[in-house]
Homo-oligomer: A and B are copies of this chain.
Amino acid sequence: MKYIYFFEEGNKDMKDLLGGKGAGLSEMTNIGLSVPPGFTITTEACKVYIKTGNFPEGLWDQVLESMKKLEEKAGKKFGDEKNPLLVSVRSGAPVSMPGMMDTVLNVGLNDKTVKGLAKKTNNERFAYDSYRRLIQMFGRIVLNVPGENFENAMDEIKKKYNAKNDIDLNTESLKELVEVYKKIIKDHGKEFPQDPYKQLELSIRAVFESWNNERAKVYRKLNNIPEDLGTAVSIVMMVFGNMGPDSATGVAFTRNPSTGEKVLFGEYLTNAQGEDVVAGIRTPKPIAEMEKEIPEAYRELVRSAEILEKHYRDVQDIEFTVEKGKFYLLQTRSAKRNARAAVKIAVDFFHEGIIDKEEMIMRVEPSTVDQLLHPQVDERAQKTLIAKGLAASPGAGIGKVVFDPDTAVILSQKGEKVILVRPETMADDVHGIAVAQGVLTSRGGMTSHAAVVARAMGKPAVVGSEEVKIDMKARIFQSRGFTVKELDVITVDGTTGSVYLGAVPVSVPGLSPELREFLKYCDEVRKLGIRANANTPEEASIAREFGAEGIGLARTERMFLGADRLPIMQAMIMSKTKEERVEHLNRLLDMQTKDFVEFFRIMDGFPVIIRLLDPPLHEFLPKHLELINDINELKMKLRESKTLKEMDAIIEEINEKDRILRTVMALEEFNPMIGFRGCRVGIIYPEIYEMQVRAIIRAAVKVKEEGKNVIPEIMIPLVGIEGEIRILRERLIPIAEEESKGRIKYMFGTMLEVPRGALVADKIAKHVDFFSFGTNDLTQMTFGFSRDDVEAIFMNKYLELGVLKDNPFEILDREGVGELMKIAKEKGRRGNPNLELGICGEHGGEPSSIEFCHIIGLDYVSASPYRIPIARLAAAQAAIRHKKDLNK
């Protein structure tokens, strides 16, 4: 079994076997870029190791053999006291998991070879700096000695020698540090091995094992990465960025991953090893400065970047080292980017002719698009600036300050919004970033861990704000004279790099020109119409701005909740006779008409689906217990009242509350979700729907007379029985006709949300012009899941146990609910070939669900206003992905 591939033997398509890093190094080697020699141990070897705890048969022999070959290429010998070969042992999984797994540098140094290295490079300080790094890294990663021991020792040495930074330490102090480090390891009952091959073996083992460390597991779970991929291990000849001022190490993106701008973006540190950049311990310099400082290497970087971008047809994230002026590429991979950059890059690549329209559309992950609609700090608002830093990930985040990831998780589980504030972040902090509204760090640059992770997650982040002084013990930070305690609220503006005290007003941005263009392309390829769920004229306006082609669901119940309307509604509900009810409803008629007028004006030329009253009537009344409480309190007051007049007033009040209470009790239900609501109420109290239909058509006539194009669609909720829709049609169409007098073309349809409705869709379809799938309720009834109860009590457990793969209230359940939708579509079209079919549940704004709607051939999806752009993109991607199906 071949477990080892030299870089010359691999290529970019061998990620599964060689990991992303190995495949990248191979590919770069083969296209002639400057890469240090090396080889990769396959993920297959890792898988065996994970299963058995041992190297697979023959692996070690292959390692030894490959080291010989590497020695030849390098012209150095591993463990040689004169001319020692040093190697890095690097992790690299098939899927990028940046910073999650371990890497050991400088393997091959020991008490003897360090001297050879010093002599050979004529740089004793460098040699001992490299040695102390190896011991530190090996101690922490391979021997599991807690890292803080080394950091504390380093701090003491720095104090002792009065050095501000690591690089200020001289050779003597570094030699001392080597001994101190060795002692730390000994004190932990371990031994730093002097044998270079022992170092190599243990490092490989440690990298294999790092596949299963806690943070890697969390990251995989968070990113849906399979557990069984394993990591490859690349053994690469060391090149050194810490050999003096003409040496450097850095990372670069071929374009700006935050804005998408076409400029080299990145940072470097001279006289440093790679870990120094990523860890954010020293604040690195912007890449542009490199042009002056080490021009030769910079030109090589620019040239390599161009080649790589063209070669990979994507923006690359590059790691490089400059050793004494010579440029080496150590890694290339597809660059993580935020949604804004993703959109711009995709559009630019399209313009540059690198990719075609369809590939451009497929390049942007729909779920990330709503980052673009993240709230931004309102520029005109009054605010208290308390710090500035690097604008690492755009958007405004507001929340309570927390200083560690665990606290972030606990508070956010309680529904609190938090901002994670850390000196710098590490892989261990990822779960805290995931739940935070934003991140603030006092150290690190634009490619620091915090910056990269926040951008990938679309979280606002300000990093490297050095004026922020964090006191982890006191759990406060200070800046510009302000002291901010844990749980104080701050606002992090990742777009400008500003930090404000308190919650600053935010506003949602409109579509950027790039996004507008991008979505225009999406509109060209998608087959699904896109409508919005909008309950207010404001929402309708936003929806139009975001590209909605109509309203797929306007709920009318909220219109009854206004302070001027609720009392009328309550009086209507408590009416004893139809006449009384009609009287109250007549008062609501004008108000409803005005509501609809607004909708129709905004949606000029587009259809507007208005759903008649849906919730149970008791939702408009006070709660049972509340009323009993009120009545008891009034009775107490009665006892204490002194005048007859006072008593009379109280008694009257008691009687009124009692009257409401009795209505509430009569309407009380065991299972209101599946009780007296929707069209059931409309059938038993015909005058409610009659008023609503009158208001809809009356409003339509009015707006039409203003010269606008009005397309109302009247939607009946919760229909499951042919008789329901037949009776309502018989009652309501004459009223619509009476108001319309032939002037308005309207549609009459039903929301399909009861399983039975889908099963008898052929019969229902005969009475309607459209179906709109109400997948929220359809999911509840198909699963027999009361959403409130299920999500509160056992949904998480179900996901954890794998009973369900996804929460069906978020991602449409294709197998069950989707099956019903298919049945409904087929039967529905059988009953009425011209039936319009759409979806208005929350799923209408979720990419996977939208794809399903495309597959089964709905006419449109309807999503909440802020999800309209996502829906446009998801619909386009579905159309591209299922192109063949459509041609059938």
Contact = CB atoms under 8 A, between A and B. Distances in A.
Interface of A: 669-676, 680, 683-684, 718, 720-721, 723-724, 727, 753-756, 759-760, 763, 777, 780-786, 788-790, 793-794, 797-798, 801-804, 813, 815-817, 819-820
A759 B802 contact: no
Given A671-B673, A676-B789, A802-B723, A754 B784 contact: yes
A783 B720 contact: yes
Contacts of A781: 674, 755, 781-782, 784
Contacts of A786: 669-675
A658 B780 CA distance: 33
A789 B676 CA distance: 7
Given A669-B789, A675-B790, A816 B784 contact: no
Given A754-B783, A755-B781, 10 more contacts: A670-B788, A674-B785, A684-B797, A720-B782, A720-B784, A755-B816, A756-B783, A756-B817, A759-B819, A781-B784
A786 B671 CA distance: 6
Contacts of A816: 720-721, 755-756, 759-760
A881 B817 CA distance: 36
Contacts of A674: 671, 673-674, 780-781, 783-786, 789-790
Given A760-B816, A782-B756, A723 B673 contact: no
Contacts of A673: 670-671, 674, 784, 786
A718 to B, nearest CB: 7
A664 to B, nearest CB: 14
A754 B817 CA distance: 12
Contacts of A755: 755, 781-782, 784, 816, 820
Nearest to A673: B671
A726 to B, nearest CB: 8
Given A673-B674, A756-B816, A721 B788 contact: no
A820 B759 contact: yes
A611 to B, nearest CB: 16
A789 B671 contact: yes
Contacts of A675: 786, 789-790, 793
A803 B727 contact: yes
Nearest to A790: B675
A370 B701 CA distance: 61
Which of A718, A763, A781 gathers the greatest number of chain B CB atoms within 10 Å? A781
A721 B759 contact: no
A626 to B, nearest CB: 14
Q: Which 10 A-B pairs have the closest CB atoms?
A: A671-B786, A723-B803, A756-B816, A675-B789, A754-B784, A669-B789, A671-B671, A755-B755, A674-B786, A671-B673
Contacts of A723: 798, 801-804
A724 B793 CA distance: 16
A61 B817 CA distance: 67
A802 B724 CA distance: 9
Given A673-B670, A789-B672, A803-B683, A777 B782 contact: no
Given A801-B723, A801-B727, A788 B684 contact: no
A529 B334 CA distance: 65
A789 B753 CA distance: 19
A785 B675 CA distance: 6
Contacts of A669: 786, 788-789, 793
A794 B724 CA distance: 12
Contacts of A820: 755, 759
A359 to B, nearest CB: 36
B759 A718 contact: no
A523 to B, nearest CB: 34
A760 B670 contact: no
B671 A793 contact: no
A33 to B, nearest CB: 48
A143 to B, nearest CB: 37
17 contacts: A669-B793, A670-B786, A670-B788, A674-B674, A674-B785, A676-B790, A683-B803, A684-B797, A721-B803, A723-B803, A727-B802, A755-B755, A755-B820, A759-B815, A759-B820, A760-B819, A763-B815
A794 B759 contact: no
B783 A684 contact: no
A762 to B, nearest CB: 10
B794 A676 contact: yes
Given A718-B784, A759-B782, A724 B671 contact: no
Contacts of A670: 671-673, 786, 788-789
A148 B584 CA distance: 48
Contacts of A756: 782-784, 813, 816-817
A803 B724 contact: yes
Contacts of A784: 673-674, 718, 720, 753-756, 777, 781
Nearest to A802: B723
Contacts of A727: 801-803
Contacts of A676: 789-790, 793-794
Contacts of A794: 676, 680, 683-684
A799 B700 CA distance: 35
Contacts of A789: 669-672, 674-676
A446 B802 CA distance: 70
A816 B764 CA distance: 12
A755 to B, nearest CB: 4
A40 B777 CA distance: 59
A798 B674 CA distance: 16
A683 B783 contact: no
A760 B815 contact: yes
A788 B670 CA distance: 7
Contacts of A797: 683-684
A869 to B, nearest CB: 32
A104 to B, nearest CB: 41
Nearest to A753: B784
Contacts of A783: 674, 720-721, 754, 756
A759 B794 CA distance: 22
A801 to B, nearest CB: 6
Nearest to A789: B675
Contacts of A790: 674-676
Which of A721, A755, A801, A816 gathers the greatest number of chain B CB atoms within 10 Å? A755
Given A720-B816, A782-B756, A788 B680 contact: no
A793 B670 CA distance: 12
A883 to B, nearest CB: 28
A672 B790 CA distance: 10
A495 to B, nearest CB: 41
Which of A724, A788, A803 gathers the greatest number of chain B CB atoms within 10 Å? A803
A817 B788 CA distance: 25
A788 B671 contact: yes
A816 B757 CA distance: 8
A755 B789 CA distance: 18
Nearest to A676: B793
Contacts of A683: 794, 797-798, 801, 803
A556 B724 CA distance: 38
A166 B848 CA distance: 88
Contacts of A782: 720, 754-756, 759, 781
Contacts of A721: 783, 798, 803-804, 816
A753 B784 CA distance: 9
A450 to B, nearest CB: 37
A816 B820 CA distance: 12
A476 to B, nearest CB: 36
Nearest to A616: B789
Nearest to A724: B803
